[in-house]
Amino acid sequence: MKNWKKIATGTALVAGLAAVGAAWMAVKTFDTSRSAVADDTVPLAQFRSTDQAAIVRGEYVMRLGDCAACHKADFAGGYKIDTPFGSLLTSNITPDTQTGIGAMTERDFFNAVRQGIGSHGLLYPAMPYTAYTKFNDRDMHDLWAYLSTIAPVNKPIDENAGMHFPYNVRLAMAGWDMLFFDNTPFIADVTQGKDWNRGKYLTDGPAHCGTCHTPRNLLGGERSSAYLQGGRLGAWYAPDITPNPLTGIGHWSVDTLTTYLKTGSDDVAVAAGPMAEAVEHSFQYYQVDDLDAIGSYLKSLPASAAQPGQPMTPNAQRMKAAALTYEVNCSACHGLEGEGIQGMVTAFAGNRRMLTDDPTNLLHAMLMGARAPHTEARQTAAGMPSFAWKMNDQQVAEILNYVRNSWGNAAVEVKPEQVAALRGELGAHQKLAVPEPVSVK
């Protein structure tokens, strides 16, 4: 009996402490005092900014934050985001009172963008308020001015209808927020220069690089100990962007990074997948100074400790067979020597981004195809076709092992099982069945 009492008392004590802790976390996480600088009387539908400079700056802030990528060009939302917890539709953020955010005041808007507290409940962290929380007041104010100029669109969106229980309960996000949302503004590091601070502000805030490039834990929280060190992101791999010379951007100059972000290619690599979208919708609009600031900031970070795995020992006979496959299927665009087409088609020779231990991006491109971003500087937006229908898992693995281990490249082996796994995950085509070859009589 005594023991039971002890345990019960102990449990109560722990529970009490947890409750106090939770309450304190809740207060800290949902403290909206930062938004007090914004007006709380005029709803967006009634507001039309007359500050032309603020509107122009606000449009730039919208580009920095890449709002249009998810909320679509007309900001009426409806873009589907698949998460491990179900699918979400992005909201209508036009000034429409009924279906958009027309009823929000500027203060409500600050709370939503920077803290994930929306007009009908908590936002899901698919909206990167975890990064946008770093937006400074002026950028927020300018963004509000810009949004006031957007045409209202009446388009009802049921954002979380596709989420599984219990994730379709918005209040569940309160727990997530308390665990993973750091509700603090950007604080400049006085020991660093203006450009460095601008770079960090952009990287962590508007550009929300960590949303993809920082690996996440099982509950979808960013692992700050592995800040920008790369990780799987659905069926893509967001690489290490710390200055690790082997796995990261150690060998990229700031100019190279800027060119890549501005145009979608640094003449060797070409952005694809979610990065192509980020370049197309957002980075190409960045001023060069801002891109340089991001590059300088990234280059100043401590390099990750990652070491690439042991490269495979290629089998000469298989490499010879793969060379024919390469010539027939790949060389027209990627070049006989893996040189690619400058600014348009990815090069393999001397392209370290192709050699990551995790071959997900290469597999994805082989199985689903891919497209370069369409930017003002690079208009072609060259497309890579899917090879899922004409190559089996073994054949995809062999051609990738060929390009990853030719022309001076060396990388760990891509296994057919990895191809099979991603083929299943993506729902990519199986290789079409063809008549069996028959021995000659």
Partner 1 sequence: MNRREALFSLGTIAASLAVAPGLGAVELKGVPHDTQLSDDHMPQPAIRSGGFLVLSEAERRTLGALYDRLLPADEYGPSATEAGCLEFIDSQLAGHYGAGKALYLEGPIRPESELQLMGTAQFLASPLERYRSGLAALEAYAQRVDGQHLADLPAERIDALLGEMEAGRLDLGQAINSKGLFELLLQNVREGYLADPMYGGNRNMAGWKMIGFPGARYDYRPYIDRRGENLRLIPVSLIPAD
The token pair that represents 429 in the structure block = 């085509």
- Within 13 Å of residue 10, how many CA atoms lie on the same side as its CB? 6
End-to-end Cα distance, the chain? 90
Q: Which residues are annotated as a binding site for heme c?
A: 67, 70-71, 209, 212-213, 330, 333-334
339 is an interface residue for partner 1 by CB under 8 A: no
CA–CA distances in Å: residue 83 to residues 157, 161, 220, 236:
18, 13, 10, 13
Q: Is 374 among the residues that bind partner 1 (CB under 8 A)?
A: yes
Decide: is 370 part of the binding site for partner 1 (CB under 8 A): yes
Alpha-carbon distance 12 to 421, whole Å?
47
Contact between 389 and partner 1 per CB under 8 A: yes
Q: Which amino acid is at 212?
A: C
For partner 1, the closer CB: 74 or 195: 74
Choosing from 36, 171, 316, 324, the residue that interacts with partner 1 (CB under 8 A) is 324
Binding site members: 67, 70-71, 209, 212-213, 330, 333-334
Q: Of the ranges 154-162, 225-233, 311-319, 325-333, which one interacts with partner 1 (CB under 8 A)?
A: 325-333
Considering only 149-157, 164-172, 345-353, 429-437, which stretch makes contact with partner 1 by CB under 8 A?
Answer: 429-437
The rounded distance, in Å, linking the Cα atoms of 2 and 232 is 51
Which residues, numbered 270-309, are part of the site for partner 1 (CB under 8 A)? 276-277
CB of 215 or CB of 273, closer to partner 1: 273
Q: Which is nearer to partner 1, 400 or 411 (CB)?
A: 400
Of 119 and 329, the one with the shorter C-beta distance to partner 1 is 329
Half-sphere exposure of 312 (CA within 13 A, CB side): 22
Residue of 232, 394, 424, 430 interacting with partner 1 (CB under 8 A) = 394
Residue 329 is a binding residue for partner 1 (CB under 8 A): yes
Question: Distance between CA atoms of 129 and 211, rounded to whole angstroms?
Answer: 10
Taken as a whole, the chain contains a residue count of 441
Residue with tokens 């042991």: 310
CB of 89 within 8 A of CB of 79?
yes
Nearest distance from C-beta of residue 430 to partner 1, angstroms? 11
Provide the greatest CA pair distance for the chain: 91
Nearer to partner 1, 104 or 384 (CB): 384
Rounded distance between C-alpha atoms, residue 381 and residue 396, angstroms:
24
* 155 touches partner 1 (CB under 8 A): no
Separation between Cα atoms, residue 241 and residue 239, nearest integer Å: 6
Size of the site for partner 1 (CB under 8 A): 40
Q: In whole angstroms, what is the distance from residue 290 CA to residue 258 CA?
A: 9
CB of 320 to partner 1, least distance (A): 11
- From 9-17, 232-240, 284-292, 432-440, give the range in contact with partner 1 by CB under 8 A: 432-440
Q: Which of 15, 332, 342, 424 binds partner 1 (CB under 8 A)?
A: 332
* Comparison of 171 and 434: residue with beta carbon closer to partner 1: 434
Determine how many CB atoms are found less than 10 A away from the CB of residue 151.
10
435 binds partner 1 (CB under 8 A): yes
Contact status: 336 vs partner 1 (CB under 8 A): yes
CA neighbours closer than 13 Å in the CB half-sphere of residue 305: 2
In the complex with partner 1, which residue's Cβ is closer, 79 or 196? 79
For the chain, helix, strand, coil in percent to 5 are 45, 5, 50
Report the DSSP beta bridge partners of residue 232: 237
425 Cβ contact partners less than 8 Å away, ≥ 6 residues apart? 235
Report how far residue 92's alpha carbon sits from residue 314's, in angstroms, rounded to the nearest whole number: 52
Q: Which stretch binds partner 1 (CB under 8 A): 83-91, 170-178, 290-298, 363-371?
A: 363-371
Rounded least distance, CB 278 to partner 1, Å: 12
Q: Does 76 bind partner 1 (CB under 8 A)?
A: no
Binding piece for partner 1, criterion CB under 8 A, among 131-139, 243-251, 303-311, 366-374: 366-374
Q: CB of residue 81 vs partner 1: minimum separation in angstroms?
A: 15
Q: At its nearest, how many Å lie between partner 1 and the CB of residue 374? A: 5
- Using CB under 8 A as the binding rule, whether residue 401 contacts partner 1 is answered as no
Stretch that binds partner 1, among 7-15, 105-113, 396-404, 425-433 (CB under 8 A): 425-433
State phi, psi for 300 to the nearest 5 degrees: -85, -10
Any long-range contacts for 266-269 (C-beta under 8 Å, 24+ apart)? Answer: 267/342, 267/343, 267/347, 268/340, 268/346, 268/347, 268/350, 268/351, 269/346, 269/347, 269/351, 269/353
**Residues in touch with partner 1 (CB under 8 A):** 73, 276-277, 324-325, 327-329, 331-332, 336, 368-371, 374, 381, 383-386, 388-392, 394-395, 428-429, 431-438, 440-441
